[in-house]
Amino acid sequence: MVGERTGVWLIGARGSVATTVIAGAAAVTAGLHPPTGMVTATEPFADCPLPPVDSLVFGGHDPAPTPLPKRAEELVVSGALPPGLPAGVRAELAAADESVRPGTEPADPRGEERLVSALAEDMTAFGQTHRLDRTVVVNLASTEAAPLGAELPPSSRYAAAALRAGCAYVNFTPSTGLHHPKVRHAALDSGLPYAGRDGKTGQTLLRSVLAPMFARRALDVRAWSGTNLLGGGDGAALTDPGAAAAKNAGKERVLAEELGQLPEGEVHIDDVPALGDWKTAWDHVAFDGFLGSRMMLQTIWQGCDSALAAPLVLDLVRLVARAHQLGVAGPVTGLGFYFKDPDTGSSALSEQWRDLLALGERLREPA
């Protein structure tokens, strides 16, 4: 895909993850940082014709007013970006910020149809302005509660707009997106590739290797409990019980699938603003061994969610853009590695890794 220009349209373009994606792509392009965490930059993908990071052009929707260069400074203070980085990539952040449009909010007074059209026009205009060969829309907005009525939730409006604008689509959140009944069929009929949902960055990543370990060793997992402490916008969004329920469903799926049944135990997500963009996730697994011996594993994961998510977003953009170029339609198989709630495939990370390598092979074939 050398010579082509790929647009990246981020829903939630001024959030922590999006800011890290844009700043990080610029930093990697400038050689300021290695592409740590980008799986598509590792050896198994070396000769896969994915769009280079320096060919990505960023824009997106976000009603938040703080421009990207200022957001990046804030992320330095909260420890999510390294000191000095915003100054080094200020031009790229400012350029992307010029392509940010306000989009929509839950109580948008415009009718659904007019709204989707307006959002799609923003995406189309972005492609025209920057003479892009294609655009991948990525949902990075705060998690929303599962919708109750027939009305499209915001995530599905953006997803419908992406289809209408002929863009590939990635849902990195647990929100509804293309899973809404009013959109699902259009997605299948669109001829466009899409992927989702709910990026697997921390606690669920761990669970996707630990649960298979217990299962394969024939150990009897009795209870799996977890508490997540997080600040930042994500923590606040997840104080909404509906949003938290949507998030937790993905976390439990891997346990139920890998262990054969859902063990005892709950998952808590607490908003702790003092932690800023950093997260602590504690997991406690009670399992029985031989002759009923009671054992325990505890894990403590301390990470910066936006730094964990951003390279995965860049990976997904590159892979889905290439799929789009090859004319792949419907859910792109082989991306379960990235998601808590993938459209297809196993929930064990080792199987997902195998599937991803197989996808890499398919994307290597000539268009």
**Residue 273 CB neighbours (<10 A):** 10
Distance in angstroms (rounded) separating the CA atoms of residues 257 and 255: 5
Please pick, from the candidates 273, 327, 358, 361, the single residue that binds a second copy as defined by CB under 8 A: 273
Q: Is 245 in the site for a second copy (CB under 8 A)?
A: no
Query: Could you tell me the two tokens for 36?
Result: 């740590």
Residue 66 interacts with a second copy (CB under 8 A): yes or no = no
Give the nearer residue to a second copy in terms of CB position, either 59 or 276.
276
Rounded to an integer, what distance in angstroms lies between the CA atom of residue 181 and that of residue 61?
24
Site for a second copy (CB under 8 A): which residue of 225, 240, 249, 333?
225
Min dist. Cβ of residue 304 to a second copy (A): 5
Torsion of CA 84, 87, 88, 90, to 10 degrees: 150
Mutual orientation of helices 154-164 and 112-129 as an angle, nearest 10°?
Answer: 50
Q: Does 304 bind a second copy (CB under 8 A)?
A: yes
Size of the site for a second copy (CB under 8 A): 79
Task: Tell me: does residue 87 bind a second copy (CB under 8 A).
Answer: no
How many Å apart are CA 237 and CA 351, to the nearest integer?
A: 32
Stretch that binds a second copy, among 6-14, 58-66, 77-85, 131-139 (CB under 8 A): 77-85
* Of the residues 2, 46, 300, 367, which one makes contact with a second copy according to CB under 8 A: 300
Q: What three-state secondary structure class fits 181?
A: helix
| Residues within window 311-330 making contact with a second copy, judged by CB under 8 A | 311
Q: Is 349 in the site for a second copy (CB under 8 A)?
A: yes
Among 265, 330, 331, 345, binds a second copy (CB under 8 A): 265
| Complete edge-to-edge strand list for the sheet that includes strand 134-139 | 100-101, 56-61, 6-11, 134-139, 168-171, 193-196, 330-331
Tell how far CA 138 is from the center of its chain. Answer: 8
Query: Is residue 216 a contact residue for a second copy (CB under 8 A)?
Result: yes
Q: With CB under 8 A as the contact rule, which of the stretches 57-65, 191-199, 211-219, 242-250 interacts with a second copy?
A: 211-219
Which CB sits closer to a second copy, 154 or 199? 199
Q: In this complex, which beta carbon is closest to a second copy, that of residue 94 or of residue 223?
A: 223
Which residue type occupies 124?
A: T
**Considering the complex, what minimum distance in angstroms separates the CB of residue 322 from a second copy?**
18
**Using CB under 8 A, which of 2, 148, 291, 367 touches a second copy?**
291
**Of 91 and 223, CB closest to a second copy:** 223
Q: How far is the CB of 189 from a second copy (least distance, A)?
A: 34
Cβ 76 to a second copy shortest distance, Å: 6
3-state secondary structure of 232: helix
What's the rounded Cα separation, in Å, for the pair 353 and 45?
12
Name the nearest CA neighbour of 137 among 173, 163, 108. 163
Strands 278-288 and 294-304: antiparallel
Q: Which residue has the tokens 């997904």?
A: 316
Print the binding letters for residues 25-64 with a second copy: x by CB under 8 A, - otherwise.
--x-----x-xxxxx-xx----------------------
